Amino acid sequence: MKHILFFLSTVVIAILSFAQTTPYPMEESSLLWKIEGNGIKKGSYLFGTMHLIQKNYFYFPAKLEKIILKSDVVVMELPGLPNQMEALKYVKLEEGTLFDFFTPEQTDSILNWAKVELGLPEEAFRKNFEKMKPFTIVQLATQLHFAGKTESYEMTIDKMARENGIPLKGLETIADQMKIFDDLTAEQQVEMVMSEVRNPKEGIEITEKMMRVYSNQEIDSLYMMIEDEGGVLSEEQSAFLDNRNFDWVPKIEAYIKEGRTFIAVGAGHLGGPNGVIRLLEKQGYIITPVTL
């Protein structure tokens, strides 16, 4: 009887150990994670990027370069950097103008904000942005604030892969990414812009805080920041993060079964209960942090 009980307890422990996933929030702090087990022949790596990051927070050690150069394929959100002309067609309105989204009072506020914060007089702003989708204004403000002060993980990884003949693959297309914004209601698109106009410093402060959290490699904290931030991003968290993670995991599985794969996606996609790390663990893979 004792032998039977011992056997059963051993089986239960083995099952629990196999089913165990990283606790939330996780204790480990890392941007780089190794993917093993579940029948794959070569270990692969999952890396969290930040699409816009100041130079003083940009960290790209030799160890990371070495891992990339040993990979059979590099996988990013997009299969390399998008062509500017191709990208432009997705950010331009097919009909109407930017100002059709806003009341006359809101338009006046936007024009004043553009003059004060962006240094663009009304004529220049109207000429350059009247055919652009609303979300481009928010992106422009952030990019102008950090202009000349940033580095890009995506550009760095893209360049390394191309110079060393490593195939570049993607998890989605630029059309997929732009559809997320297109699917927002007109009211949500207006709120994205007006929240920036009402408090231009808040968006910059949040971005800088995210950079600090990212540099500490605290991916669950980064996820929770996005979750707690409020506004459209928090409201549409499923569209911006979770649903994309669910779509990506089968594609990631296909890549890592073929060979040693280096996967680089926004760090916000790694953490959280529906983050890529925990979704891969649920599929039976062993995911372990790698010190950089």
Structure confidence by residue, pLDDT tens digits, 251-292 = 999 999 999 999 999 999 999 999 999 999 999 999 999 998
Consecutive H or E run containing 110: helix 104-113
Mind listing the pLDDT tens digit for each residue in 46-65? 999 998 899 999 999 999 99
pLDDT at 228: 78
* pTM of the predicted structure, to 2 decimals: 0.87
Q: Round to whole Å and give the CA distance between 277 and 271.
A: 7
Q: Is residue 124 part of a domain?
A: no
Nearest Cα residue to 22 out of 9, 8, 11, 35: 35
- The answer to whether 133 and 98 are in contact (CB under 8 A) is yes
Domain encompassing residue 158: 24-87+149-290
Cβ-proximal residues to 93 (8 Å cutoff; 6+ apart), any chain: 131, 132, 133
CA distances (Å), origin 292, targets 219, 267, 278 = 14, 15, 21
State how many domains the chain has.
1
Q: Is residue 192 part of a domain?
A: yes
What is the sign, positive or negative, of the torsion defined by CA atoms of 25, 28, 30, 32? negative
Q: Is residue 4 part of a domain?
A: no
Cβ-proximal residues to 78 (8 Å cutoff; 6+ apart), any chain: 170, 171, 172, 173, 174, 177
Q: Is residue 130 part of a domain?
A: no
Q: Is residue 121 part of a domain?
A: no
Q: Is residue 112 part of a domain?
A: no
Q: Is residue 234 part of a domain?
A: yes
Confidence band for 8, pLDDT divided at 50, 70 and 90: very low
Assess whether pLDDT exceeds 60 at residue 2: no
Cβ atoms within 10 Å, residue 152: 16
Assess whether pLDDT exceeds 90 at residue 22: no
**What's the residue count for the chain?**
292
Residues 190-208 have a mean pLDDT of 89
CA distances (Å), origin 110, targets 107, 135, 194 = 5, 13, 8
Burial 220-245 (b: 16+ CB within 10 A, else e): bbbbbbbeeeeebbeebbebbbbebb
Q: 170 pairs with which residues across the strands?
A: 76
Q: Is residue 93 part of a domain?
A: no
CA distances (Å), origin 226, targets 53, 150, 273 = 16, 21, 13
Q: One-letter amino acid identity for 28? A: E
The distance from CA 98 to its chain's CA centroid, rounded to whole angstroms, is: 26
Confidence band for 145, pLDDT divided at 50, 70 and 90: confident
pLDDT at 123: 96
